Structure 1
């Protein structure tokens, strides 16, 4: 059953927390938006909003409307999904699917226009979603890594 209460994310105002955190985390903290905002790096939220502004309809998690995805935004530290040291567990990464663009089209655009996405430091290649993160880099530019 999808939760009806929408809690908007201040630095990514076209997103709700339901779209960005797993169901159990939302249910536990839905009355504490300050906690929810503090699990994210503000740079990641700003880039997420910029991506939606640039490419249009974008989905991160879909559990609140009956979809299967709930770990494409924040993942708690003990989450078995993904890598042990995933940037998702630090609130610094999102996996996005766009309605009007493929993941590769978004990757190509972001790599060609890095100045428009100044906090994105890494993106994942060879997957059918657009993963980006804002980790502190030891390199210059945007690094593309493969699973």
Structure 2
């Protein structure tokens, strides 16, 4: 069984078109299949640790819909982005700053909240975390510039 997030709804994590298609087909039970369990667990743990984190805003009348899962035909981001494989999220913290969270991840990578994070983007105004195939045991968490 796939992990079901407790602190995020599916519209917050999926694009509007993907969510609406699954809703129309009455297959919302398939939402979890689009996202890696590790990124869903990480999202919940980060929200529990830092308070509210915003992903997609389209469900609330906002413009962002590709900060979570990006379908293959999406024109936003790189062709092989971890978002397209359901392994990345771009989060905007409300009760902490991105810099504070990145510093915490750097200082305490062993914490359970960060267990599945293998990559973090630096120098962007949001928190990009992903769980790409990267040997963090030997090489640590990868911090990249987009």
Q: What is the aligned counterpart of 1:122 among 119, 132, 135?
A: 119
- Is 1:17 matched up with 2:10? yes
SS in 2 for 1:131: strand
1:89 is aligned to 84
Q: What is the alpha-carbon distance in structure 2 between the residues aligned to residue 126 and residue 36 of structure 1? A: 31
TM-score of the two chains, using structure 2 as the length reference: 0.91
1:143 is aligned to 142
Q: What is the alpha-carbon distance in structure 2 between the residues aligned to residue 89 and residue 48 of structure 1? A: 17
- Is 1:28 matched up with 2:21? yes
Q: Which has more strand, going by share of residues?
A: 1
Q: Relative to structure 2, which stretch is displaced further, 73-82 or 31-40?
A: 31-40
Which blocks of at least 5 consecutive residues in structure 1 are unaligned? Answer: 1-8
SS in 1 for 2:7: strand
Structure 1 residue 143: Cα displacement: 0.5
Q: What is the alpha-carbon distance in structure 2 between the residues aligned to residue 47 and residue 86 of structure 1? A: 18
Q: Relative to structure 2, which stretch is displaced further, 27-36 or 54-63?
A: 27-36
**Any runs of at least 4 consecutive aligned residues in structure 1 with deviations exceeding 2 A, and if so which?**
none
Structure 1 residue 138: Cα displacement: 4.5
Q: What is the alpha-carbon distance in structure 1 between the residues aligned to residue 81 and residue 8 of structure 2? A: 22
Q: What is the aligned counterpart of 1:58 among 47, 53, 59?
A: 53
Q: What is the alpha-carbon distance in structure 2 between the residues aligned to residue 11 and residue 47 of structure 1? A: 12
Q: What is the alpha-carbon distance in structure 2 between the residues aligned to residue 115 and residue 138 of structure 1? A: 14
Map Cα deviations across residues 90-137 of structure 1 (whole Å, 9 max, x no partner).
000000001111111111111211112111000000000000000110
Q: Which has more helix, going by share of residues?
A: 2
Structure 1 residue 84: Cα displacement: 1.0
TM-score of the two chains, using structure 1 as the length reference: 0.90
